[in-house]
């Protein structure tokens, strides 16, 4: 496709891919969520500009501190000084794990996290800490279930319904939120570098023998109350994909929990189980992605507005191949960014990493070699 043929997409999607370069937007640090569901800073209302990068604790565990610094610096340079990252690594051999295979707290891993937080603070970057993962990456819910019920081979749904798993996760949250950082002397519960606590990444409860419409809301209530009782002053985010009745998640029920501050939505139009696009390529595919993503953001924003809670589009990824990869990604991510901004929602594309990292899944954003996408991240 010749370069001039992108002009219709630029016009139709409203993307500012062309035109003069811009300086990164540098919003003030987010300090909380007000009673009407707006994000606030010490200077007044603010909309979070975030980005994802899951390998921070992995790098810290392997003493790759230059890679940690590079990711933090990249987020700051993009004007997206909030990084969503994991704080749940369980089992395995990485010294950065926060729990051993038997579920006991791994102090060395927490000390690595202490340093990550200190490095973020030095660079004026905040962290959204994910405290559990439905999927097995870095242990996740399956590792917790193995710890509390060895040999029982429990399904993932048991993470949200088995009393042993619930109690174990609460114990972990109390230890994490109540920790005093050995490098800064600040309690995690009061550290402004921690933007928010996230309950779980992409919770699902599809097992009819263990799940009903109350399972995830009840679990979310218990976990969020545990975090608050541990003294946390930061907002509490849900972490789900934002379904309205699929996979055991209904964002409207989560909104009614009452002890969650930030509702969440994830956008992956080319992944099964996220948004579904009709087969095809080119203009129709891009316009469909932009339109469907916008509709999903607006639907989630309506739920958030009705419940006076904040909304964070906390994962947004576009995967494509070929010479137009950068231009396509910029157009789609830019369209979603404007939809989020329209309703005052935070926005966090997926994902950045250290220079030279392989692109394992097709979603890695390399600002140094993707100028159109980098401009969207800096300017939208």
pLDDT in 10s for each residue of the chain, 380 residues: 333 344 344 434 444 444 457 877 888 999 999 999 999 999 999 999 999 999 999 999 999 999 999 999 999 999 999 999 999 999 999 999 999 999 999 999 999 999 999 999 999 999 999 999 999 999 999 999 999 999 999 999 999 999 999 999 999 999 999 999 999 999 999 999 999 999 999 999 999 999 999 999 999 999 999 999 999 999 999 999 999 999 999 999 999 999 999 999 999 986 655 655 554 556 688 898 999 999 999 999 999 999 999 999 999 999 887 889 999 999 999 999 999 999 999 999 999 999 999 999 999 999 999 999 999 999 98
Ordered alpha helix ranges (H), the chain: 7-13, 56-61, 65-77, 107-122, 140-148, 158-161, 163-177, 215-229, 251-255, 283-307, 325-342, 371-379
- For tokens 């230890």, what's the residue? 175
| pLDDT at residue 16, as a whole number | 41
Which residue from 243, 359, 255 is spatially nearest to 299, judged by alpha carbons? Answer: 243
Its pTM stands at 0.94
The C-alpha angle 100, 106, 109, rounded to 5 degrees, equals 115
User: Which helix (H) or strand (E) is 347 found in, with range?
Assistant: strand 346-349
- Give yes or no for a contact between 129 and 83, defined as CB atoms under 8 angstroms apart: no
What is the Cβ-side half-sphere exposure of residue 190, based on CA atoms within 13 angstroms?
Answer: 6
- In whole angstroms, give the CA distance from residue 239 to residue 242: 8
Residue 20 CB-density burial (10 A; 0-12 exposed, 13-18 middle, 19+ buried) = exposed
The C-alpha angle 355, 138, 131, rounded to 5 degrees, equals 100
Q: Which two tokens stand for residue 334?
A: 């830019």
- Give yes or no for a contact between 89 and 98, defined as CB atoms under 8 angstroms apart: yes
- In whole angstroms, give the CA distance from residue 296 to residue 220: 22
Backbone angles phi, psi at 195, to 5 degrees: -65, -45
At residue 237, the 3 state secondary structure works out as strand
Write the DSSP assignment of 270-295 as a string of letters: TSTTS----S--THHHHHHHHHHHHH
Q: Which two tokens stand for residue 209?
A: 């023998």
Q: Which two tokens stand for residue 198?
A: 């996230």
- Domain 3-379: what homologous superfamily? Glycosidases (3.20.20.80)
At residue 33, the 3 state secondary structure works out as strand
At residue 266, the 3 state secondary structure works out as strand
- Give yes or no for a contact between 226 and 219, defined as CB atoms under 8 angstroms apart: no
| pLDDT at residue 275, as a whole number | 56
User: Which helix (H) or strand (E) is 316 found in, with range?
Assistant: strand 310-316
């Amino acid at each position: 496709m010749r370069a001039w043929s992108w002009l219709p997409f630029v016009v139709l999607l409203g993307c500012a891919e062309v035109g003069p370069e811009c300086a990164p937007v540098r919003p003030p640090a987010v300090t909380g969520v007000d009673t009407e569901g707006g994000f606030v800073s010490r200077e007044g209302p603010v909309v979070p500009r975030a980005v994802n990068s899951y390998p921070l604790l992995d790098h810290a565990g392997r003493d790759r501190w230059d890679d940690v610094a590079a990711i933090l610096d990249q987020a700051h340079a993009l004007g997206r000084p909030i990084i969503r990252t994991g704080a749940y690594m369980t089992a395995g051999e990485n010294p950065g794990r926060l729990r051993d295979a038997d579920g006991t707290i791994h102090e060395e891993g927490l000390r690595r996290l202490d340093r990550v937080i200190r490095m973020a603070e030095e660079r004026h970057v905040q962290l959204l800490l994910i405290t559990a993962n439905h999927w097995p990456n870095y242990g996740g819910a399956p590792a917790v279930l193995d710890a509390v019920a060895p040999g029982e081979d429990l399904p993932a749904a048991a993470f949200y319904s088995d009393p042993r798993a619930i109690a174990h996760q609460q114990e972990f949250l109390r230890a994490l939120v109540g920790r005093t950082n050995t490098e800064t002397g600040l309690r995690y519960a009061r550290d402004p570098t921690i933007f928010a606590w996230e309950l779980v990444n992409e919770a699902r409860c599809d097992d009819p023998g263990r799940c009903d419409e109350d399972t995830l809301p009840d679990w979310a209530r218990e976990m969020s109350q545990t975090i608050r009782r541990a003294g946390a002053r930061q907002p509490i985010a849900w972490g789900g994909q934002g379904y309205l009745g699929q996979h055991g998640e209904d964002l409207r029920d989560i909104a009614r929990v009452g002890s969650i501050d930030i509702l969440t939505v994830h956008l992956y139009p080319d992944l099964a189980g996220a948004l579904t696009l009709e087969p095809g390529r080119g203009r129709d595919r891009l316009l469909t992605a932009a339109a469907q993503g916008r509709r999903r953001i607006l639907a989630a924003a309506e739920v958030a507005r009705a419940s006076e809670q904040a909304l964070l589009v906390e994962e947004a990824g576009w995967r494509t191949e070929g010479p137009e990869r950068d231009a396509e990604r910029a157009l789609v991510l830019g369209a979603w960014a404007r939809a989020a901004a329209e309703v005052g929602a935070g926005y966090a594309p997926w994902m950045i990493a250290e220079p030279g990292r392989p692109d394992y899944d097709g979603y890695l954003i390399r600002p140094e070699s993707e100028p159109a996408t980098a401009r969207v991240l800096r300017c939208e």
